[in-house]
Structure 1
Amino acid sequence: MTTALDPAQLLDAVADALVVCDAKGDITLWNPAAERMFGFSPAEAIGQPLDIIIPERLRKRHWDGYFETMRTGITRYGTTLLRVPAVHKDGRALSIAFTVALVVAADGTATHVASVIRDETERWKEERALQKRIGELEAKLKATSQAQ
């Protein structure tokens, strides 16, 4: 016996943030994982522009691309994992990875963008520390080889 899948239960259960925005860029869906990740409750996030999680220095670039995607109905990021900085409600920086899906109406008009987002802040910090350590070791090796 199979039971019907309850989409609301799925949205609540997944560990990744699910964020959907309309053509204007206003948030229309914000699951519990998005609240855990970014600190905003659904009541605080829904109806707000994505600016609440986009660092100010990146907003113009983001919105230029967003509105071009909505205008054309084409995104070049449909299957690409994007890695960008984001901002938590308390102001701290996050490093996120996400994919996007363009939602279109029957007539082909883009209506929404859905994003599946994962917090990679810790992985990013570890990667930076490893890169720093590699740089230090390479400098040490170079200094040792020059001394010989």
Structure 2
Amino acid sequence: MPTSNIDLKQLVEGAGDSIIVCDAAGTIVFWNKASERIFGFTQADALGQSLDLIIPQRQQQRHWDGYNKTMETGITRYGADLLKVPALHKDGHTLSIAFTVSLLLGDDGKVSGIAAFVRDESARFAEDRKLRARLVELEAKIQQAGDK
């Protein structure tokens, strides 16, 4: 199939990962169906809102420092490197998400926005935490057995 025949709207709306696009100020201008499923906010809830909608308050300053630096410099390391951070669901519970970004350039070559490709990693993160706790417990038992 030639790439010219690909319906980009179907591609984006059918994606299992959240796709969020923000303008240079961090205002949400695109929110796909996976974003609704992951974060609980409808498209109507999210469009026109700040990303603070899904960023825990304690993370907001750090987020905006990085976001603004990316807007100024046009450089991000999260185009290829996965960023793992907490996020907020509409009902108030915390999610563990992982995402990459794509910088969107205007006609002048400057960054005009950012597209984020987000996956909910909450279940995997919880399982990893359980496994780490179990490992610590087993190591303590081995240490105790060796001390006898």
Normalising by the smaller structure, the TM-score range is over 0.9
2:141 equivalent to 1:140: yes
Cα distance in 1, alignment partners of residues 44 and 104 from structure 2 = 23
1:107-118 matches, cutoff 5 A: 107-118=108-119
Is contact 1:95-1:120 (8 Å) kept? yes
Shift of 1:106: 2.9
Q: Secondary structure at the match of 2:36?
A: helix
- Count of residues paired in the alignment: 147
Q: Is the 8 A contact 1:17 1:33 kept in 2?
A: yes
Question: Pairwise mapping of residues 67-78 of structure 1 onto structure 2 (< 5 A)?
Answer: 67-78=68-79
Cα deviation digits, residues 71-112 of structure 1 (max 9, x gap) = 111112221111100010000010001001111123221001
1:52-71 maps to which residues of 2 (within 5 A)? 52-71=53-72
Number of the residue aligned with 1:22: 23
Moved more, 105-114 or 119-128: 105-114
- Aligned residues: percent identity? 52
Distance in 1 (CA, whole Å) between partners of 2:75 and 2:57 is 25
* Offset from partner CA, 1:39-98 (integer Å, 9 cap, x none): 000011011000010000000000011011101111122211111000100000100010
The corresponding residue for 2:52 is: 51
* Structure 1 outlier segments of 4+, above 6 Å: none
Cα separation, 1, equivalents of 2:78 and 2:142: 40
SS in structure 1 at match of 2:103: strand
TM-score by length of 1: 0.96
